[in-house]
Chains A and B, each alone.
Chain A
């Protein structure tokens, strides 16, 4: 066993093997930075080259790639508030506020060192797990899976924001939005408006971008500043590194969470980082800075999302069951190179298993090293006037959204949900609570139904179920006990009951969504509607309570309008609608001219009109973006959205 372990290391220690590993790492870092592209995109790009290759070369390359996408996805999350992959959503919560304070380098330093340690922890756990974890995984039956989903859902308690009732409503909204698509029990379509696009549910990428990227971009544009409010970079990368070491037990706990959740098929990275974030909050004594730039809010999720890979590899290698989307592809690749994962993997391919583990560890070190090295120079992006960066960001967000299903509906969904996200932010409705509800919705629906179908109510008597139930009780207790740091209630502040119209309209919209959900699902079979109807009725009850609080005339946390945070000179020149218009304008440009010509016109116009750049420079910048996008599209074989122009005329590459 130890001999095999060392044998694998010495195999890897040759120049050729390391070069393949490095190649994978560089590719992984690149796609991790680009929102919308992640392990899945890069791995499908590699697949043709993987085929028939030497497994000891190809495996390090693939693992190198998968290991580091969750490292570099922190760059856009921290610097611009756009999740590089869906595992980086929670990092935005505190990472981006740090960047706004001019501490981007510190946040990145902490994030990358946490990623590094989390990744190593994951590799260590994988080594142990391949010997012992089989009975553990087999012990997690339908009932235990249900309880784990419920446990993850209780993490919402930590993330409700200033008004608990609004946070719970948003969680309910997330559950409702997440139940769009085919019902697990009956395959009936719910809330799809009879659109094929919605029959698989809303893509997570789109929801993530809409909840975080769009509102963030609009807010910074309205301020007309750079991302960082301070014109220089504060404390550096090394300080971040030291802070990670200071919070070493947080790193260990969050890494353990990452491995555990990653090992459960069906949850994965999008859940892990939120659970870790909530845990970082739960376990902190002073919570006043969370959401405003607490370094622990960066360390926790970043440790967990890299540890996640080690966890996700456990069921992939031991059972041949992918723990995540990119693992599904990895599994396909293993079959292509003639390695059959599953029960026999340990006996027949022990050498390759150890190569995988070592590659995972080494890739994490190399990936984090490169990122740490680049953190400070790349952080300078936060000092550039944002109007110069904004059009490129908007283009990237649309590009990322289109990669979800490569359908025009992706762009429309992004815009509609993005506007929804903007008002959620403006009126103080918790977006993390929404996302957690959204991610867990289908799993919750399916596992309630499956547990009851298999066990009836008796699943509650299983030992594992009771153990997790106890954890759930602890989690709820901690959430109830938590005191949120809140601004004082004043007669003029953001929580004052003045100018209630816009807020009331949004509240009305939420009620309308609930009523429509009941109308839409009412005629389904019992098993198809029981979940959405129950969730909606609870949400509706909470909404009615919110309306009652809302109708009173004294300040309350149920009121919030960030527009009143802008006072005096800070008042932005333009309202929400102005920039919604600008975001819509790109949609129109693409709709008419297709993606490449559309972004050419859009970036030029934006730079000229909003950023005051001279015409020739604006055009040159736009052309550069076009060149990059075209080349990129060619290399990665991406398809771009087409417009009316392409519909009527045959266009040459790259305008097609």
Chain B
């Protein structure tokens, strides 16, 4: 046997080997298999909150539809508007499909408004699915209105609104008030539950709830004549136009409420700013992301699993209410929304910065 290979021979053999391996790796990659693996899903919020319930509703179905039926472990890292949890995910997540993160509007808000503390690159992460979640604004009937048509009567009345703070999850509602020329007195430092109680006690007279809260407790108040729904945030359709929320087809969206108020269509930097914030908080309300650099086949496996979950009649039956009525954006379909929500027009950003500074004394980056 000739043990002396020439350089040329080695190169040829190497190239052949590579060529032989190439389809093999592809095939292996297509057969992504998580059998026996534990998949760690970071939730940068406390257990029991909206994002936590969202992933826990999906959990058994992800286990069923991801190849190899891995077990899904939910890891809650709560606190500080989800910055520590998301930062830690950025730092530690391995891009091999066994690490994922659930984000919410708050995470996006931190990413856009608190640049100095954010170490995570949300715009580089790879979306699996985006789940929009709308919200409805309602008021006390004692203010003299019976429905959305009377919205102009709110002008000049002593409105009182409660929430956590101006630039957190309430931002889409707070800015909609500004857009509509309403100047409520703000009572900050309150969570949603106590706010609804205070509304029921008439201590607050205008309030909002995200769709599950609205369809649950708040709709009972509406039926009992203790609340009048006024408008919804609306959602963005595939062309980027603001349309009514599919769950409240009878309620005007913010744009229509503006028309009812002022008799013309909204435009200008204030409306642009609100639209960007609304994309951030309504369209990007919940989502599952994989770390940057996760190989394409693994990403595809996740996206396929998610698509199959949405088709699964079991999911429809058991957990349909988690994503109720909203279009879900899987994979590349999510990209334009993420881009819009994380990049503001310069004039809109300037307007927003000025509004927060002058009306709420809050500085945003």
Contact = CB atoms under 8 A, between A and B. Distances in A.
Q: Which of A265, A321, A338 has the most CB of B within 10 A?
A: A321
B59 A48 contact: yes
Contacts of A183: 189
Given A200-B80, A405-B79, A405-B84, A40 B56 contact: no
A184 interface: yes
Nearest to B200: A138
Nearest to A43: B47
Given A185-B189, A454-B203, A525-B361, A51 B56 contact: yes
A51 B62 CA distance: 13
B84 A186 contact: no
Nearest to A446: B189
- Main SS class of interface, B: mixed
Nearest to A199: B80
A407 interface: yes
A335 B48 CA distance: 9
A141 B189 contact: no
B56 to A, nearest CB: 5
Contacts of B46: 325, 328
Interface in A524-560: 525
Contacts of A450: 162, 187, 189-190
B147 interface: no
A633 to B, nearest CB: 12
What size tier do the contact residues of chain B reach?
Answer: 35 or more
Q: Which of B76, B80, B187, B189 has the most CB of A within 10 A?
A: B189
B52 A319 contact: no
A330 interface: yes
Interface in B181-227: 185, 187-190, 193-194, 196-198, 200-201, 203-204, 212, 216-217, 220-221, 224
Contacts of B160: 454
A51 B361 contact: no
A23 B361 CA distance: 52
B217 A343 contact: yes
A538 B60 CA distance: 55
Contacts of B201: 138-139, 141
Contact of B47 (A47, A187, A266, A639): A47
B328 interface: no
Contact of B57 (A330, A336, A406): A336
Interface residues of A, number: 54
Given A186-B188, A196-B84, A200-B79, A330 B193 contact: no
Q: Which of A319, A331, A335, A639 has the most CB of B within 10 A?
A: A335
A47 B56 contact: yes
B362 interface: yes
A339 to B, nearest CB: 11
Interface string B280-318: 000000000000000000000000000000000000001
Given A328-B48, A454-B160, A336 B197 contact: no
Nearest to A459: B203
A196 B216 contact: no
Interface of A: 40, 43-44, 47-48, 51-52, 137-139, 141-142, 182-187, 196-197, 199-200, 265-266, 315, 319-322, 325, 328-333, 335-336, 338, 340, 342-344, 405-407, 446, 449-450, 453-454, 525, 637, 639
29 contacts: A44-B47, A44-B74, A47-B47, A48-B72, A52-B318, A137-B197, A184-B188, A185-B189, A187-B167, A196-B80, A199-B79, A265-B194, A265-B197, A266-B194, A319-B193, A319-B196, A319-B217, A320-B217, A321-B194, A322-B48, A325-B46, A331-B48, A332-B52, A342-B220, A405-B78, A406-B77, A454-B203, A454-B204, A639-B75
Interface of B: 46-49, 52-53, 56-57, 59-60, 72-80, 83-84, 87, 117, 160, 162, 164-168, 185, 187-190, 193-194, 196-198, 200-201, 203-204, 212, 216-217, 220-221, 224, 318, 361-362
Given A40-B47, A51-B60, A446-B190, 18 more contacts: A47-B74, A48-B72, A51-B56, A52-B60, A138-B201, A186-B188, A187-B188, A196-B80, A197-B84, A200-B80, A265-B194, A319-B196, A321-B196, A328-B47, A329-B48, A332-B52, A450-B189, A454-B204
